[in-house]
Structure formats: C-alpha cells, structure tokens
Amino acid sequence: MSKRNLTGAEIIWECVAIEGVDVVFGYPGGTILPAYDALDKYRKKIHHVLVRHEQGATHMADGYARASGKVGVAMATSGPGATNMITGMATAMMDSVPIVCITGQVPSPVIGSDAFQEIDITGASIPVTKHNYLVLDINDLAETIKEAFHVARSGRPGPVLVDIPKDIQNQSIDFIYPTGDIELPGLIEPQGADESQIKKFSEMIADSERPIILSGHGVLLSGATQEILDLANLAQIPIGTTLLGIGGVPASHPLVLGMMGMHGETWVNRAIQESDLLIACGMRFDDRVTGKLQTYSPNSKKIHIEIDPSEINKNVHVDLPIHGDLKSVIHQMIPVLSKKKNDSWIKKIDGWQNKSKDRDIIHQETEMLMGAHVVRKIWEGTKGDALVITDVGQHQMLEAQYYEHEEPRTLLTSGGLGTMGFSLPAGIGASFYEKDREIWIIVGDGSFQMTMTELGTAVQENRNINIAIINNGYLGMVRQWQEMFYEARYVETPILSPDYVKLAAAYGIEAFQVKSLDDVIPTMRKVQKQTGPSLIEFVVEQHDMVYPMVPAGADLHEMIERPINSKNGNANIQKEELKK
Amino acid sequence: MKQILITLVEDKPGVLNRIASLFRRRNYNIDSLVVGKSEKPGVSRMTIMTNEEDQRKRGHIYFNLLNLVNVIAVKDVSNLGCVTREFILIKIQIGPDQLNEVNEVVKSHGARIVDMGKETVIIEATEREKEIDALVDELTPFNITEIMRTGKIAMRKGKTHKISSDKINAQADDVNWVPENIHTYHN
C-alpha cells in the first residue's frame, strides 16, 4: 500500500472502513471532533447515524452485530459520552456481542488533570469490556484499531473500547496499514475434542435413555445450526433452547421443544430434570436457566461444549467438558455416532406437552386483550418470518414463548444483563443490516420510556421499523414478583404513559392504538404497507402474569403454572398453589 | 494449601489494574501478588497466591486469569515442585547491650543486618514463608518498629520455562506453558 500522510482522525476511518464497516452509530463532542471533521471525507464509505444518547449508539451497534454477525461500531466523545456507553457495553459483554466503541479523550498532556469532560474510561470500562485500549502514540493507532476488531470477534465475542486522545487524532503520520495476521498470545485457542473425548461422547450418547440437547447462543455465534440438527436427528435427541438460543434451531423442527428456564416451557424443564444426559452446547448454565443448582437435573451426566473455558464447571459440574468451537466439535463427533431411537422418552415429553395445553393462555378466550395473544397475532401477521427485537420484562418472555423463530438471528434480546431500553435502539441498529425482512420491536411501556428518545433517530434515518408497545400500565414483571413474593404490595410499579399516538405524531410517525384482539391483524396490515417507522400501542390486561414460572432460587421442576380457565388469564393466583 | 499461580503478562500500562479488577469483581481473594521483569523484554512474570481451597473455584480463577487478553500464560504450580521465597525488611529499636543478642537471632535464621543506626538496625531475610514467620517471632521481644514484607515468589524446579525469543509466544518453547488443558484441569 502506498504511503499517505494522514491524521489520526483519518486513520480511524481508514481502519474502520478496512474492517468492512459501512455504518457507525455515534454522537459528536469536544474530544472526538477531529474524527467527526475527518468523517466528511469518508461519507462514501461510511454512513454515520446520529443518535440521541450514547447508550443508544452502543445498543444500535449491538443490534447491528447481533443481526449481522459482524462487528458493530459506536462512537462518542469523552467524559459523559463515554460513561453513557457503559450500559451498552455491559449488555454486549453479558451476551457475547462483538462491538467496538471508539471514544475521544482529552489531549494526552492533560490526562490525569481532571480536565473538562475527562473520565478514565479505560479504567471504568474494564469490567464491562472484553478488552480496552488507550492510544498514546499515533504510531500505534492503526494497529490498535485492527487489534480491537480482532479481539471483539475472536473466540467468545465481546465489546472492545478504544480511547483516543484529541491530540493523537490531530497528529499526522505516513500511514501504512499493518498487514499480516495479528499475533496476540493472550487469546486462547479453542482446543477441540481429543480422541478419548470423542469416544466418551459417543459412548455417553449410546448409553443414555433420556438425553436432551441444551442449545444456547453459541449455536448462533458458531453457526452450528445444521450440526446441532444433525446430532439431534442422528441420535433422536430432543432440543431445549436458552433465551438467546432461540432461532438457533428452527422452532417447527419436531425435536425442538422450546425454551427452558424460569419462564421456559414446563415440558422442557421437566425433561431437563428427568434427563440422564444433558448435552450443553454453547450455553453457560445461567441462574435463570438452572434454578436451584443443588437440585438441577440431579440424575444426568453432563457434557458441556463451550468456547470459553472459564464457563466450564462454573455453575454446574460436568462429566465431559470440551473446550472448543461448537461447530467444529460437533463435526468431530458426527462420524463416530451411531443411530439411535429414544421413542419412549420423546413420547413421555410429548405427553407432558399435551397435558400443559389446557393451562396455556393461547388456548383460552379472554375478555381483555392479553399480551400473549398480541405476540401470537404478530407471529401470525408476519408469518413467523420477521426480525423481532424485544425489550426486557413480561413481553420479552411472552415473545420467547409465543413467537416461533425458524432462523438464527431473528430474535434480538438482552438476556444476560436484562437491559430495559434495549429494543428501540437495537432495532434501529439491526435495520441497517436487515433491509428486506420485516422488523418488529416488541416493547413494554416501561422499557419503551427508557430510550424512546431514539424515535428521533428512527425518523431522521427513516428506518423501516414497526414498534409494538405492549402497554399494561405497570412495570409488569416487577409487579408480577410483587404479586407472587411481596404479598401484592405494588410499590412503585404502576407507571404513567404518555399518549403514544400523539407522541408518535410529534415525530411525524403514524401510530395506532389497539384494544381488542380483532383489531390486531388489521392494524398490523396498515403499518406493514407503509415505509418508515410506525407504532402500535396495544392496551392489554393489566394484571396478567407470565406463566409458567420457576421462582428465583427454586428447583427447576417447581413450576407455577397458569390456573386453569381463569377468566382473565390469571387472575389472582391462589396462595396454596404458590406454596406447593 | 494456598493456590500458587505463575503468570506471564505483557508489560503494558494497566495490566496490574486488569488483574486486580478481575480478582475484585469475581470476589476472589488475593493473598499476595508479586510482579517484576522477566528474562524477556516486554514480558513480566507474576506470582499470585490465593487462599482458595476449593479445586473448582481454583479453576475459575485460573481460566478467568487466562481469559485476560494481556495475560500470555498461567501455570498453576500449587501441587508442583517449586522454590518459593519471601523477602522481608525489619527495623528494630535496640539499646547497645542488645546487639549481640539480636546478632545471634539474625545469624541463626540466615538473615543479615543491612543497616545499623544509633538506636535502630534493619535486618533483611530471604526465606520461605515459615522461616520468615519464625524470624519475626523471635525478634518480637525486641522492639520491632517497622516490617516490610513482599509476597511470595515462586519458580518451578526442573526444566526451564523460558519465553520464546523471536516473538512473545510462550507456547512455542515449552509444553508446560501451553494453557492448562481444560480437560485435565477440571477432572
């Protein structure tokens, strides 16, 4: 490559463009101004999205990364710009999402002097990033950015922050892009399975009578959908998914059972508890998945295939740990496995599933509009083919239960950190990758009010997104806990909403309010026809709860199920039922 | 028994912060941590001691440490043959009539007097933790006014674990520095 004299600011964009990035989400400010000034020369290669809050920028980069599998990029100034990114980086960290955050920093000579808008963001972001950098020499800049992208996407992906002082952005050098592979001895190479493990794996499967695959986010990250299905089909093993594993395997596949965990399907949790072999694939036995650890799947042998060695044996002791990339490990296993039938086991699970139907709200007629019914209608109205982004709370669990995803990366949700306010910015970010698929943001009234400021971004960028607010007038999931575990004292959970139709109108967004089930699909049809952002507020039954539920810290099989045929879906759960 | 981890890290600003932050946020207890230059420029060698007894939790510490990007390699040497040493400086206040007595204690422990003031002496010793403790015990009857003790440093006996010279690739030279095999570590 020929030498060119470039400023640090220009080098940032050169490097970002070389990484294949064509969209950056950010917000300008004092110490990042040189980079923004230089952006003007790179307009043809890079589109910049002006957000309304830096947290939004990180969630947009996150949503873009989750939808595309590529690295998302967010940019902000020093001080408050940088600290506003903390929540977004933490969200990406917990869910293994590759993003690179570039922040301006005060000029290097004044670092440490409490200069205006100075904050030690590399220090502050250590716990919420996979790695971070402070660039103090322009000669290191290009290599650092290259390394940051490499670290973000390698192994178990995660967020990386690069902090660049203003004077470094202003200096110039003869720019030569560092070619060749990055040598980072500190990154751990996945080991893969050895001969004895392959043998043990096939023996454990052959010996099992009640096996189940636990399919996690790693299936999507590794691109191992086909491999998991091959494994399941070959040895007739049913599959349960984690929240982030949804879409990793098609919901309609006969062996795919549904979601496990706190609000997982009863038959999946029962299958896990009665199983004699768990095959955990790219998941981390989160407490929302296991319930009480001491009684978790007590009679099973456990296999754990995982790319991050620190996750193995962290929460659950495993009998066969395999450190490696999921796709290649299962590739190693398939040839040595023999065909197998588990008919009686499958039949048993089917029995549980059939029995639970009469408790399922979806089969009940209700007077009020129910959140679950809205989600189901959205599923029908999009033929199950939309990219859905959810926020955090009851609506999130209802989406996981009632929207069936057939393809990877069609549900984006904040699982590990449970970040309210995630969905609108993440949906905007995802829309820059997913240009053909219909996009639905399903969000509660509480969550929406956390980041609804990004409506401005959606309009300015004319994003094709549909926002479905499930409005029950409460912080619903917190209310549910209050009802179940705090003797129905609803302290600070009723929440006022603005008139969402008027709010949308103020932004020039067409919006509707829906109060009855019959209006759901017709209203969807209206917004599906138009381009640009749209909003529907679904006013739903205020007191409904998400069932089934495993109370925090309870045994996974201690599921509270929905009372049968209660008129309003729940309504007041019997105390005796709780105590069971 | 204490967990002893010999760790190779890149000699870059903030690395100590990253390690300290890891131990703090994961609620691991550092018993002692000693860091210094290694035989290879750009690489520091650390001895980290933890008081974690549980084997599974020791594994958590090991792999989380290894996960840090600036950490090149970690070896858990808790159960391996090692030379371990601590260093101590002790200042005591004594009268002229006590000097002989102090000298005897110092000699019997292989320690040295490195400074003699009008009313104070400074004693240094390099020994295993137990011997250092014994020295302190025996000097306690005298008036100890200051103690400065380093943590433990450790070096594995036998074959050299040197760092490859052409690049910072600790895995190349010695199989012992390949990240602990997860399968053997956990089982």
What does the alpha-carbon distance between residue A246 and residue A256 come to, in Å, rounded to a whole number? 10
Q: Does A563 map to a domain? A: no
- The whole-number pLDDT of residue A291 equals 95
pTM of the model: 0.93
- The whole-number pLDDT of residue A575 equals 41
Closest Cβ–Cβ partner in B69, B179, B186 for A131: B69
What is the CATH number for A132? 3.40.50.970
Catalytic residue IDs of A: 54, 116-117, 166, 477
- The whole-number pLDDT of residue A2 equals 60
Q: Is there a single domain that holds both residue A283 and residue A210?
A: yes
Q: Is A194 an interface residue toward B (CB < 8 Å)?
A: yes
| Rounded-to-10 torsion of CA A523, A525, A527, A532 | 170
Closest Cβ–Cβ partner in B60, B69, B73 for A314: B60
- The whole-number pLDDT of residue A107 equals 98
- The whole-number pLDDT of residue A364 equals 86
> pLDDT of A540-565, one tens digit each?
999 999 999 999 999 999 999 998 76
- The whole-number pLDDT of residue B1 equals 83
pLDDT above 70 (res B172): no
Contact between B49 and B19 under an 8 Å Cβ cutoff? The reply is no
Q: If you average pLDDT over residues A214-230, what whole number do you get?
A: 98
Higher pLDDT: A249 or A179? It is A249
Q: Which of A174, A133, A127 is nearest to A7 (CA)?
A: A174
User: Residue B116: enclosing H or E segment and its boundaries?
Assistant: strand B112-116
Q: Is there a single domain that holds both residue B124 and residue B33?
A: no
User: What pairing do the DSSP bridges indicate for beta strands A47-50 and A510-514?
Assistant: unpaired
Q: Which domain holds residue B120?
A: 84-149
Q: Is there a single domain that holds both residue B8 and residue B76?
A: yes
Of A355, A381, A403, the domain-final residue = A355
pLDDT above 90 (res A298): yes
Q: Is there a single domain that holds both residue A233 and residue A147?
A: no
Q: Is there a single domain that holds both residue B7 and residue B70?
A: yes
Q: How confident is the model at residue A566 (pLDDT cuts 50, 70, 90)?
A: low
Q: Is there a single domain that holds both residue B15 and residue B70?
A: yes
Helix or strand or coil: residue A147? helix
What is the CATH number for B95? 3.30.70.1150
pLDDT above 80 (res B168): no
Going from the C-alpha of A516 to that of each of A471, A536, A538, A544, A545, the distances in angstroms are 13, 12, 8, 16, 19
- The whole-number pLDDT of residue B185 equals 63
pLDDT above 80 (res A363): yes
Q: Is there a single domain that holds both residue B10 and residue B68?
A: yes
pLDDT above 60 (res B166): no
Number of domains making up chain B: 2
Q: Is there a single domain that holds both residue B91 and residue B22?
A: no
Q: Is there a single domain that holds both residue A170 and residue A214?
A: no
Q: Is there a single domain that holds both residue A342 and residue A407?
A: no
Across chain B, what does the average pLDDT equal? Answer: 85
- The whole-number pLDDT of residue A8 equals 98
> pLDDT of A20-56, one tens digit each?
999 999 999 999 999 999 999 999 999 999 999 999 9
Q: How confident is the model at residue B75 (pLDDT cuts 50, 70, 90)?
A: confident
- The whole-number pLDDT of residue A555 equals 95
Structure tokens at A161: 């922050």
What does the alpha-carbon distance between residue A220 and residue A405 come to, in Å, rounded to a whole number? 13
Q: How confident is the model at residue A99 (pLDDT cuts 50, 70, 90)?
A: very high
Q: Is A314 an interface residue toward B (CB < 8 Å)?
A: yes
Interface test with A, best of B24, B26, B55, B67 (most A CBs within 10 A): B67
- The whole-number pLDDT of residue B171 equals 36
| Rounded-to-10 torsion of CA B55, B56, B57, B58 | 50
Q: How confident is the model at residue A344 (pLDDT cuts 50, 70, 90)?
A: very high
Q: Which domain holds residue A52?
A: 4-175
What is the CATH number for B63? 3.30.70.260
Q: Is there a single domain that holds both residue B75 and residue B11?
A: yes
Number of domains making up chain A: 3
Task: Give the minimum alpha-carbon distance from A90 to chain B in angstroms, rounded to a whole number.
Answer: 14
Task: Give the minimum alpha-carbon distance from A323 to chain B in angstroms, rounded to a whole number.
Answer: 7
- The whole-number pLDDT of residue B80 equals 84
Mean pLDDT check: name the lowest of A246-255, A258-267, B64-73. B64-73
Q: If you average pLDDT over residues A376-401, what whole number do you get?
A: 98
Mean pLDDT check: name the lowest of A327-336, A410-419, A439-448, B175-184. B175-184
What is the CATH number for A283? 3.40.50.1220
> pLDDT of A146-167, one tens digit each?
999 999 999 999 999 999 999 9
Higher pLDDT: A79 or A579? It is A79
DSSP string of A312-359, one letter each residue: TTSSS--SEEEES-HHHHHHHHGGG------HHHHHHHHHHHHHGGGG
Q: Is there a single domain that holds both residue B76 and residue B164?
A: yes
Q: Is there a single domain that holds both residue A122 and residue A213?
A: no
pLDDT above 90 (res A504): yes
Interface of B with A (CB under 8 A): 10, 13-14, 17-18, 21, 25, 56, 59-60, 63-64, 66-73, 167-171, 179, 181-183, 186-187
Q: If you average pLDDT over residues A114-122, what whole number do you get?
A: 98
Q: Is A180 an interface residue toward B (CB < 8 Å)?
A: no
Kindly state the percentage of chain A with pLDDT values over 90. Answer: 91
Q: Is there a single domain that holds both residue A289 and residue A394?
A: no
Structure tokens at A259: 């979601």
Higher pLDDT: A182 or B105? It is B105
